Structure formats: C-alpha cells, structure tokens
Amino acid sequence: MSTFDDLQQAYVSSELRAIGLQSATARLFQPGVTVPATDADLWALFNTIPTAGGTFYAPSILAFFTGYSTLINALVPGTNPLDPVKVAQSRLAAWGSKPPTWNQGVEALSRALQAASRLSFNFNNPATPDPGYWGLWGHSSPITGPSDSYAAGSVSVSTAFKHLLSFTPTPGDWYVSTAISLAYRNKTGAPWNPASPVTWQTTFGEGGMLQQMLAALVVVSGIDITANSSTSFSPPEQALIAAGLPNGLWPHYLTGSGINTKASFNATSGQMTTTITSTASNARMLFAVVMPAQQYLGL
C-alpha cells in the first residue's frame, strides 16, 4: 500500500522529469516560497551555502561571499599582472565590506518569468519512499488520519504552470571564477599557501565551506493544479481537511495572497477534488538547484 511519503516522492520525481531537473541537484521548497521582493533579499538567498544532502532546500550558517573571500585572501598570487588570484584579491579589496550582489535581480527575474514557456504534466500514483514530506496539508503528519487514507487510494494530478523559469544569475564584480577554478583544479601547490589553515579539503572537501553552492531557482507563475483521489472521506475527515486549508494543500502547500486553494467533496462518495490556482503575476519558488563545487564551476 502506498504511503503519503511514497505519493509525494512519486509526484516530485514526475515533476522533476517534466521540468528537466536532475534529482541529485534539485531541492524542494516546502512550502513553495514567495519570490523575494527586493534585490538585496534575493541576493541574500544566493549568498547562502546549502546544507549537504537532503530532499529539501535548507541553508547552512555559511555564506558564499564569506567562504569565497576567505579562500581568495588565503591564496598566493602569481607575479603576472593578469594572474587570476591577483585579480580576484584586487577585486575583493575594491569591493570592501559591501554586501555581495549578483548580475540579475528581481526585475530581471520578473521579466524573464513573464517570457518563460508554459509547462504541464499529468501524474498518476505509485512510488519510491523518501520520508520527511508533509501530509495532505501543510505541517500535517503523512502517516495518520486523512493523509494516510488519501495516499492509500488512487490519486491523479494535472499540473500546469503558465510560466516556468530556471533563474541563474551569476555573482557580481567581486567574484572571479577563474581564481576559484584554479584553486579547485590544484589540490596542492600553487596557488595554495602551505602555511595557511585554508586548504583544498577545508574549502571543497567534505564539510568544506564551499563544498556546494546554490546555482538556480525554479520559479513558476500562473499555477493550475487539480488533484483527484478515489478515497472516500467521512464527514469528520472532511472537516479536518477543511481546517488544514489555511496551511495549503499537497503537493506544494501554497498559501498567501494570489493563491486560491479549494477542497470539494462528492456528496455521495466523499471523494475529494483539490484545485490550486494562482494569478499569472504571483511567482513562487518551487525548487532550488544545488550543485557541488566542481559542477558549479563547470569543471
């Protein structure tokens, strides 16, 4: 019998295939997150270092700018004026204590999203388990009550996004990719300083400060999701589901302005139909693309 974790993992796997994302690098936002309103907040998100592993996106306490600065300032520059480490150290000195920026902000994201293509796909049950997902409504248990009953039945979902965008800004003028790439390619020797505690292992190795980075955000707008379940819900179960509506319903638990979520029940069978819609101007982040350093650097 399918569990709710089975159901969610199967749906997410189907969604990733439709989008064209690799499950190894995609991390789910649970719930789907509103796009930051300012450039500073958006860039602060890209400045976070994701935690290692996991199904969901979660930032660590490390900052990309801090880790990058620590690395660059610990390296030994070459004598050539165009040496990438020398250039990188000069750029950082000129940048000073300003917060890091990226080459695109919220206006660029909004314009690109409005021009992005439509995506739609259909999903029908079975599964591979991956515990940790929520249940039928936001923050609910996936293994008790209506969630368990819902997953045990046949579930079909029609999902459509009017616009889907993979937003991939690059770091601003404070960043020199050739310098960090040079350090990654050479585990020992130049440009590493043998007297420094900053090494390839502490930077790029397991638990290193730049082991992996946030490369992209998958943003959608104009959401139109319809889910049907063969499960018959009793009046008390229907009441529980209705009470959970303010926390958003599966599969992305969307709430807030511009989101319209409904759960309707057949008067005879008690079977539920869920509809989740949003306006075309309401953008939500569904996935983060997290890459190991080598892939992020294109090496």
DSSP H/E element including 218: strand 212-229
pLDDT at 290 over 90: yes
State what percent of residues in the chain have pLDDT above 70: 94
pLDDT at 16 over 90: yes
pLDDT at 163 over 50: yes
Residue range 34-71, pLDDT digits in tens:
999 999 999 999 999 998 877 899 998 889 999 999 99
Cα→Cα distances 175→105, 171, 199, 213, Å: 16, 6, 19, 14
Rounded to whole angstroms, the Cα distance separating 77 from 34 reads 42
Rounded to whole angstroms, the Cα distance separating 133 from 115 reads 32
pLDDT at 111 over 80: yes
Between residues 128 and 199, which one has the greater pLDDT?
Answer: 199
**pLDDT value for 152:** 81
pLDDT at 253 over 80: yes
- The tokens for 240 are 């529980």
Report the mean per-residue pLDDT for the chain. Answer: 92
Domains of the chain, by residue range, sit at 4-296
**pLDDT value for 126:** 45
Q: Provide mean pLDDT across the span 96-106.
A: 97
pLDDT at 215 over 80: yes
Q: What is the 3-state secondary structure (H, E, C) of 143-154?
A: CCHHHHHHHHCC
Contact 4, 122 (CB under 8 A): no
Rounded to whole angstroms, the Cα distance separating 238 from 232 reads 10
Highest mean pLDDT, choosing among 122-126, 193-197, 277-281: 193-197
**pLDDT value for 141:** 65
Residue 6, classified by CB atoms within 10 Å of its CB into exposed (0-12), middle (13-18) or buried (19+), is buried
